[in-house]
Amino acid sequence: MGAVKSKRMPRAVREQQMLDAAVQTFGQRGYMAASMDEIAELAGVSKPLVYLYLNSKEDLFIACIRREAKALVEAVRAGARPVLPADRQLWAGLTAFFTHTARHPDGWAVLHLQARTHGEVFAAEVAAMRADIVTFVTELILAAAREALPQALGCSPKLSTSLEQGGPPRAGGTPTDPHLPGGEVAGLAEALVGAAEALADWANSTPGVTARQASATLMNFAWAGLGDLMAGRPWSPPDGEGPDTGSGADMEDAGAGAVVHAGRTSPAR
Amino acid sequence: MGAVKSKRMPRAVREQQMLDAAVQTFGQRGYMAASMDEIAELAGVSKPLVYLYLNSKEDLFIACIRREAKALVEAVRAGARPVLPADRQLWAGLTAFFTHTARHPDGWAVLHLQARTHGEVFAAEVAAMRADIVTFVTELILAAAREALPQALGCSPKLSTSLEQGGPPRAGGTPTDPHLPGGEVAGLAEALVGAAEALADWANSTPGVTARQASATLMNFAWAGLGDLMAGRPWSPPDGEGPDTGSGADMEDAGAGAVVHAGRTSPAR
């Protein structure tokens, strides 16, 4: 279908349509079960055209991984707000992440399930993206730690500025914050990313769990900690605004005005 | 080699030797690169004997996954100490987990890397184990939440007793702790397990990071939370004993007498 129509499209547009169809098919049916026939039909093009553009099923899958990885990393980076206090930055980053994975469940399935299940070549593609995100999170935690203790460290919080400008972290080697040394920060970043991955899988596979709830759960876990949660002290933003009981569908400005209370953010079941 | 010697062994012993060799080979060389020749030689038996006992490379790999999954789950369950306060329970469970993954890096690589990278059949085996652990962690968090608020809930902390006895969680449906409702607890368990998986990968692939350090990092992250860490308030056990700067090799009683301070538990680098 659509052969005449598709001839009028620029190559880049048609290729994106093929990738859209491929991500949907790989994400929902799995890499092995997905067929090139199915993907071509969903994209509204002929199978030979898919091969002409993307070469093979393997190359098409890799193109999907790369596109979805780039989109996810960009969404998380765009969500970071270095001008905010550390807890608000984390909340903004988490909501950006879970909003993206909730809106692109097939893309997330390609990245976190399919790509890692079907061979080392695909797994390596995802590992590279994951390393990017861990580095980014490490920088954010370091920046937050420095801001928390500028006097104790005798330095001003400059790292957040370099992040704001999209630049690399400051040169000068391993930071020596007495509370959060480099090795500890690297471990914390791994823990945070691992927790976020697990929660994205859980949110996307559990009916009724919204992006907002997943963000709130991880915010409470990562910022307040189980200790404070057990004592009935979830995280809440410093401005003390009232609870936002939105459904999670509208999270563009989720960093503002949210009160994340465990008792309010969990699905009723 | 060892044909005469191996004939004297009972089948069960010889099979364990084959599995030992297979876990080591799969874990270190990867599922695809590992050969049955190599595994047979390492086990000191003939290749036909490996096929006779374990049938095929796929079946051998599944036997490895099941053995390593069982050992890991048993180690974590054995590490749990329901008589302790919630934070000490978590510390005991985390040290049990990271001690096991540090001592059995090939087993962990089989479970968390190889099994998930080489097809849906293997991935499903690991997913079953993971679900067991998430359920167990969910029960522990629920028990801790109930203990933290027995008066508010009007019930005594019985769940820890049923866990102590190895029994299932109490019947009676979803708990209704106002601070930690069921959906929130399920999410917290997912976050904790995801963070632990990521940290085990990180600890096993980062020179100088011990099981103790991984446990300490996750304890600080999960219990104290980033908020308290930023403010220089890491978790420490209630008995206030001095810092234990042990190397992590001797963690049998890691639940006792440990002070987990971020500044002390990170590798010097």
B249/A237: higher pLDDT = A237
Chain A residues 99-158 with CB within 8 Å of chain B:
116-120, 123, 141, 144-145, 148-149
Q: How confident is the model at residue A225 (pLDDT cuts 50, 70, 90)?
A: confident
Task: HSE, CB side, 13 Å, CA atoms: give it for residue B81.
Answer: 19
Question: Which residue of chain B is at minimal alpha-carbon distance from A215?
Answer: B187
Q: What does the pLDDT look like over A92-140, one tens digit per residue?
A: 999 999 999 999 999 999 999 888 888 888 989 999 999 999 998 898 8
Interface test with B, best of A221, A236, A260, A265 (most B CBs within 10 A): A221
- Give me the residue spans of the domains in chain A: 1-55, 62-265
pTM over 0.80: no
Q: What is the residue whose two structure tokens read 């460290």?
A: A153
Assigned CATH class of B79-265: mainly alpha
**Is the pLDDT reported for residue B153 higher than 90?**
no
ipTM, interface predicted TM-score of the complex: 0.76
Tens digits of per-residue pLDDT, A182-202? 678 899 999 999 999 999 999
The CATH number fitting domain B1-55, selected from 3.50.50.60, 1.20.1090.10, 1.10.10.60, 3.40.30.10: 1.10.10.60
Q: Do B198 and A201 touch (CB under 8 A)?
A: no
Choice among A160-169, A222-231, A260-269 with the minimum mean pLDDT: A160-169
3-state SS, residue A224 = helix
pLDDT above 50 (res B131)? yes
Contact B191 A123 (CB under 8 A): no
What pLDDT score was predicted for residue A147? 75
pLDDT value of position B226? 83
The answer to whether residue B199 scores a pLDDT higher than 90 is yes
Report pLDDT for B116: 83
The encoded tokens of residue A110 equal 């390609």
Please give the pLDDT value at position B240.
Answer: 42
Distance CA B210, CA B267 (A): 8
User: Hunting for tokens 């499903």 — which residue is that?
Assistant: B124
Q: Quickly name the fold that domain A62-265 has.
A: Tetracycline Repressor; domain 2 (1.10.357)
Check pLDDT > 90 for residue B85: no
> Is the Cβ pair B228, A232 closer than 8 Å?
no
Distances (CA, A) of B51 to A74, A255, B44, B54, B247: 49, 58, 14, 5, 41
